[in-house]
Amino acid sequence: MFYPGDARALIREVDELLGRAGATAPRVGFPKAIIVPHAGYIYSGGVAASAYDAVRPARGIVERVVLLGPVHRVPVRGLATVSDQSFATPLGEIPIDREALDSLADLPQVVVSDAAHAMEHSLEVQLPFLQKTLGTFKLAPFAVGMASVAEVARVLERLWGGPETLIVISTDLSHYHAYDEARRIDGETISRIAAFATDLDHDEACGATPLNGFLQIAKDRRLSLKVLGACNSGDTAGGRDRVVGYSSFGLYEGAEPSPEEAGRTLIALARNAIEKSLFQEKALPADAPWLGQWGATFVTLTLEGRLRGCIGSLEAVRPLGVDVAENALGAAFRDPRFPRLAAGEWPRCRVEVSLLSAAKPLEFADEADLLAQVQPGVDGVILECDGRRSTFLPQVWESLPDKRAFLAELVKKADLPADTRLTRCRISRYRVAKFRE
């Protein structure tokens, strides 16, 4: 009822929603928790996608998702779990974390109700997004009925864990007000959520019960909060007479490294990988927690100011620390444009590391529309056509500032005919955080 039942159609829709979440600057770290809406994807999928896009780097780190949403069909006293061993979507099965649920056996507010979960969309709509962004994980689901702030917070405290655990709170905002009135009400509610209020009512947020309990523990643990998206059904696929409000938030635990610290660490890892190969230097430990997040990097070597090698990843498929080390070795020893780096060259080389955001496809009507959207000096661009692909980092704009010339060189780099129409091509863009020695 809330998303396509066909796996291919569902993948396409979720990918499109994540793709439209916008090309944002890459971020080191990922949320400990997200607050997301739960309407049909046509209504609130874009707002939800803005939160799940922030979770992408957690792939390979998060092993358990604790998911709380309000009951809509079956009344419950407390927080209802399930007796099932797994949940299933068109994208596959998700194992239930029985060990986590068994650890709550002594809490009287935790009950078992398969009926409460059977048709509960507030939980169901989150699962395909989680499957696409995280891959493999175990699920601890709770359909929340009547419960106090303390009862919800106690469950979350018990399951809080470390970076291997992601908390997801499912809630919409106001229901069935006129558009302008809903914007006013929801704006006030968003401000109250950002202030960690724990007395929200169900007219403000239908998931107020799990949300209040979560905000209590988030406040106690001093999490930081970022508003990631907000709109209502009048902005997406409905009329404006009676609308439903949606918002998404990311909540972050602990201090993230500064850009300067992240840059120093990534450059040190890149240099160490090359020196280990050249001189059998001892491997530098990649023990900072954020290096375990999945990330995509490019490593560029220059020799006395001239390019000496550049190799990278366009998609995050492995831990960030591993990616930068492997790409450093690639730039030094496997770039087909250059011979292997010699030990005598190394003292005159400089290292640059670019950390990429997820690439987002551009939708354009014609070449003029594409040229209007591309941002020189900001966008890295990927061009794909007829099974060929090429990319330029944003740094390339320094030598190719003209948009037409930039795209023409991308076509040439992809080994496509010079007269290839850009409207035949798939064009995506990404942003980078650039670190130089």
Sequence-separated (6 or more) residues with CB below 8 Å from residue 268: 284
Residue 132 contacts residue 11 (beta carbons within 8 Å): yes
The confidence score (pLDDT) of residue 302 equals 97
DSSP code per residue over 149-178: HHHHHHHHHHH--STTEEEEEE----EEE-
Residue 25 per-residue DSSP state: -
Contact of 336 with 355, CB cutoff 8 Å? no
Per-residue confidence (pLDDT) for residue 311, from 0 to 100: 97
Please answer whether residues 232 and 249 qualify as being in contact, where contact means their C-beta atoms are separated by less than 8 angstroms: no
- Give the integer Cα–Cα distance in Å for 168 and 30: 13
- Render each residue's pLDDT in the chain as its tens digit; 437 residues: 688 889 999 999 999 999 887 656 787 889 999 999 999 999 999 999 999 999 998 998 999 999 999 999 999 999 999 999 999 999 999 999 999 999 999 999 999 999 999 999 999 999 999 999 999 999 999 999 999 999 999 999 999 999 999 999 999 999 999 999 999 999 999 999 999 999 999 999 999 999 999 999 999 999 999 999 999 999 999 899 999 999 999 999 976 788 889 999 999 999 999 999 999 888 887 778 889 889 999 999 999 999 999 999 999 999 999 999 999 999 999 999 999 999 999 999 999 999 999 898 999 999 999 999 999 999 999 999 999 999 999 999 999 999 999 999 999 999 999 999 999 999 999 999 999 99
Token couple for 204: 């403000």
Separation of alpha carbons 15 and 435, rounded Å? 30
165 beta partners? 64
391-400 long-range Cβ contacts below 8 angstroms, 24+ apart: 391/314, 393/298, 393/312, 393/354, 393/432, 394/431, 394/432, 394/434, 395/300, 395/354, 395/432, 395/434
Q: Which residue, chain included where needed, has tokens 């109250």?
A: 192
Alpha-carbon distance 22 to 120, whole Å? 30
Report the C-alpha gap between 103 and 114 in whole angstroms: 19
Q: For the whole model, what pTM was predicted?
A: 0.87
Look at residue 23 in the predicted model and tell me its pLDDT. 56
Q: How far apart are CA 144 and CA 202, in angstroms?
A: 13
3-state helix, strand, coil in the chain (%, to 5): 40, 25, 35
Find residue 408's DSSP bridge partners: none
Question: Residue 106, class by beta-carbon neighbours within 10 Å (0-12 exposed, 13-18 middle, 19+ buried)?
Answer: exposed
3-state secondary structure of 166: strand
